[in-house]
Amino acid sequence: MDAQGRGGRAGRAAGAVSGPALAVRGLTKSFGGLLVTARVDLAVEEGERRLIIGPNGAGKTTLFNLVTGELRPDEGTVTLLGRDITRVPGRRRAHLGISRTYQIITLFPRDTLLRNVTLSLLGRSPLRWNPLVRLERQGALIARAREALARVGLEHLAERPLAQTSYGERRRVEIAMALAQNPRVLLLDEPFAGLSIEERRDVLHLVTRIPRNVTVVMIEHDMDVALDFAERITVLHFGHVVVEGTRGEVVAHPRTREIYLGE
């Protein structure tokens, strides 16, 4: 439980000294006979904005699940800030600085927005084991939760049950929860999926304002929205990394056009 502080500091120090914030080497995962992630190599530098694109079934979300520890890879390693975390259970990876959002929103519908974000903060606090104090009276924690909601412009809805909010607002709650954990590496799984054009603009604005000490990796199916955001782009296809490079390189690459743009 106290490992979160130690792990965080140790990781930070290691990350500052050398190498990428997040590195994946030879990562392989298959479900039955289906190879979903095939010897994927990926290195995301600290503070980088990385976009991962690819058609449906390219293995984008599986890659995220392997990085966060929700799935165990068959082969390969995951390194966070210079530390090999391949065998670290998923719940500990949150303490080491990985946060994520989900493509299919998985929040707590019966609770208020404030309680949702509070749960996210609590996840990284030893207070989560305390059965004796009143959660409502944890002023400092709740003030931080309000702050996190303010960051995504939702503080006025803090007391509203999640079930009574719009899809776009829930997306922002997801991002607020991920940012509340003070991640070093933030994984955004299709943050624009299912949103209206207006809501997309809001979320894009939010995402571009994330401070540079957070490394951001974004999966997006729809390339147009996220293109401005990305510095480097990785194209996945049937579990393989097909193209990787700067925005211009990837967009101009014939394989990208062939696979992704369907030309």
**Footprint (CB under 8 A) of other proteins, residues 82-111:** 90-92, 94-95, 99-100, 102, 106-110
Minimum separation from the CB atom of position 69 to other proteins (A): 8
Minimum separation from the CB atom of position 180 to other proteins (A): 10
Nearer to other proteins, 30 or 125 (CB): 125
- The residue within the footprint of other proteins, chosen from 37, 79, 181, 234 (CB under 8 A), is 181
Nearer to other proteins, 71 or 206 (CB): 71
> Could you say whether residue 197 binds other proteins (CB under 8 A)?
no
Minimum separation from the CB atom of position 14 to other proteins (A): 20
> Could you say whether residue 4 binds other proteins (CB under 8 A)?
yes
Nearer to other proteins, 117 or 225 (CB): 117
Q: What are the beta bridge partners of residue 243?
A: 235
Binding site for other proteins (CB under 8 A): 4, 68, 70, 90-92, 94-95, 99-100, 102, 106-110, 115, 118-120, 122-125, 127-136, 138, 177, 181
